[in-house]
A and B are shown apart, each in its own frame.
Chain A
């Protein structure tokens, strides 16, 4: 039995330690806001925070999580998260929306470390998140708007 702390709630998970965190979250804890897109860390749809840092949950084995605190899209909170989600809504970034949990988790990670990112900073932090609907222009604008909101 493995212990996983997700969004502040401890869970016991009876699964192979090799199981990727993504599938433990989605299929065992039934929290489906974190998405499966590629399974090989190419698309970023599965991005969650591990002790505040964005990680690809499809490449994180649950056996390796240990005491780390996992935060998913359902559990993000605080000023940065509110600014990011608010900007996303204000600019109507989403289309199909499937990648946006991961985009938002990456954007929160970026703005937490770098409150005033340049376009090049955004390119660097968001390059690993694919949006097949092509909402990149609005994602960029929303990150800048969130940065302004945060002052």
Chain B
């Protein structure tokens, strides 16, 4: 039996974790979100060692369990990762299972995040491609060697297919489970031969999702479903303003609620511990807390944005430049200017944040959560509880969505759960639950961002110069990731997708100003691309219109050095019937194309616009993600990206009034609902390039495609998000 190596607890390998503060663990951290193929100094992922013991377990009952080092928050990476390994192993898809790996940065780090185990930047498939192929191929070779010695036949005469090892000449065969034990004692081949793509049996085909059954009969366990013996539930009263602290607590009425176990003060607020969620909620309502707002953010979001408008008038830090953009624009035949504003956005995953921590009798701890940055979370829990990280075991559960929220650089809600356990001396397993209101008003939003763009075109319509300023709060500055990600004061996640534009512009300058408000901000499915792609793709459309050019042809003219982008753009246009656009009143087509996380996506939106309303009829997408590991999961991610992002295009915004978040539940922050969902068609480019990710890249192009379609339908440019539908006049 091939066994999972025990999680390494060797102190020397983890010495850098000692001290526990999140900052200390990030030595050597890198976040390389671009396609590894273009990253100048990126790791050579094909050099990863073959580690079958870390990634696959074959049991006597013939099941093949693939260890998943990532979080699956719905994007289907468990299915994709298992596909990669199972194909090289020549397993039968029906025998394949998955299990989430423990926290072990030595074995399970994200190869694109240096020494950190974590999920983000659409890297799960990309970083694991060679690792899991090699693990599968090595395990297969070991099974063949075991059969060869049992049967005393040459290994070269043995074939493997669908979980069966066979020697045709002697008519002998064995199932994996029968060979696993003897295979496990063999040395691991370090350079197992990988299959030629023509021999793939699972990669590139539709394999059913491995989580479909458990997620349709109620048996899938999310961390909110964890029920430990003796468990108590904790809700925390958080301050209404970010940065406020507890001044005074009157917990008499809360403690009088039957079923309340304790009320404890913790750094993030006041925790009410009770026998169940409902009791904790009632008791929290009975709690009287006076907050100290002296260090709190008390501005309104309108005020913050108005300040951004002023800041944008000044030169900022230069993220990229070429030539003299101002001079080039001055000499242009036509000059266009535009501004774009973007609100704070909540992730609003269906499963609100939660975490369960249990102290074992030996003083170690078990943590159950939708763990997305395991190395950080383990270190933060350990530091909060005053133990070394090897005393903290993480049990990653299915996550009911995340969209970035569960990967917090400071592991905020893990720290909160641990602080309750610490304050209450770990008397029983603590199940920390955030209500929907806690989750939505709890910050860590997509930053509010403001863009201004000024560009010129010459008499033929060709772009001459581009001057672009972005103001927004950096996600990384002030976080433990700052030293690694922020260069010269510029956070790559603020400008990605703009300052590195693939459009060939002779002279350009991208400036950035970092907002400094006290609202916690975070990556939100596709991070900086959520706003940069919109500003770039709407403004390019404006230039095309000013040049009297077709929006697709105009873009292609600027994408000479971006063949993969050009190809998806052409494919989406062809499949959408761009050349046969409907001409009826109030109907319009719009297009957008963008690269993010090494993947290339184009979308054509077909909309009907009327007075104060936009109906999206159809979205046609074309994607290039390299080898499509599971095409149906890729299609699902793009369909889902449309459903997820549509409400942010049409209405979602988190607003602050005097520092207090106004939207607290799905009544005031309405996600997309069934009747609004457009028909989505997804076309996948065939490719032999190493695979990249698709969890995020479907999101950035939706808003600009819709905005451009609204322009086509009505002649009105709705630049800011959400679209200002109140001002829209039908054709």
Binding site for B on A (CB under 8 A): 15-16, 19-20, 23, 26-28, 30-40, 42-43, 45, 72-74, 85, 88-89, 92-101, 104, 122-123, 126-127, 129-140
Contacts and interface: CB of A to CB of B under 8 A. Distances in A.
B632 A133 contact: no
Contact of A134 (B225, B665, B675, B677): B677
B129 interface: no
Nearest to B639: A137
A45 B350 contact: yes
Contacts, number: 176
Interface of B: 73-76, 208-209, 211-222, 224-225, 227, 233, 258, 276-278, 348-352, 398-401, 403, 435-436, 632-633, 636-637, 639-644, 646, 665-667, 671-675, 677, 679-680
Contacts of A19: 278
The 6 closest A-B pairs by CB, nearest first: A134-B643, A33-B218, A98-B400, A96-B74, A97-B215, A32-B225
A139 B674 contact: yes
A132 B217 contact: no
A136 B632 contact: no
Given A42-B666, A132-B644, A135-B639, A104 B216 contact: yes
A81 B350 CA distance: 23
Contacts of B672: 134, 136
Which secondary structure dominates where chain B touches chain A? loop
Given A27-B277, A32-B221, A100-B215, A92 B632 contact: yes
Nearest to A94: B215
Contacts of A43: 350, 666
A30 B212 contact: no
B277 A132 contact: no
A99 B672 CA distance: 14
17 contacts: A19-B278, A31-B218, A36-B224, A37-B436, A38-B665, A39-B436, A40-B436, A73-B218, A85-B217, A89-B216, A92-B212, A123-B675, A129-B674, A130-B671, A132-B349, A136-B672, A136-B677
A97 B400 contact: yes
A40 B222 CA distance: 21
A72 to B, nearest CB: 7
Q: Which of A31, A42, A88 is most buried by chain B, counting CB atoms within 10 A of its CB?
A: A42
A94 B674 contact: no
A92 B80 CA distance: 13
A5 B655 CA distance: 44
B716 to A, nearest CB: 27
Given A36-B224, A97-B214, A132-B348, 5 more contacts: A15-B278, A27-B233, A122-B674, A127-B675, A134-B646
A64 to B, nearest CB: 15
A147 B215 CA distance: 21
A92 B75 contact: no
A27 B278 contact: yes
Contacts of B436: 37-40
A137 B677 contact: yes
Contacts of B217: 33, 73-74, 85
A92 B227 contact: no
A101 B646 CA distance: 23
A59 to B, nearest CB: 13
Nearest to A23: B278
Contacts of B218: 31-34, 72-74, 101
Q: Which of B214, B400, B667 is most buried by chain A, counting CB atoms within 10 A of its CB?
A: B400
A129 B674 CA distance: 8
Given A98-B400, A133-B640, A137-B680, A40 B350 contact: no
A94 B401 contact: no
Contacts of B673: 127, 130, 136
Q: Which of A89, A95, A100, A136 is most buried by chain B, counting CB atoms within 10 A of its CB?
A: A95
B220 A92 contact: no
Contacts of B258: 16
Q: Which of A19, A32, A93 is most buried by chain B, counting CB atoms within 10 A of its CB?
A: A32
Contacts of A99: 350, 400
A117 B40 CA distance: 55
B445 to A, nearest CB: 15
Contacts of B646: 134
Contacts of A130: 350, 666, 671, 673
B351 A98 contact: yes
Nearest to A42: B666
A102 to B, nearest CB: 9
Q: Which of B215, B276, B277, B674 is most buried by chain A, counting CB atoms within 10 A of its CB?
A: B674
Contact of B636 (A88, A92, A104, A140): A92
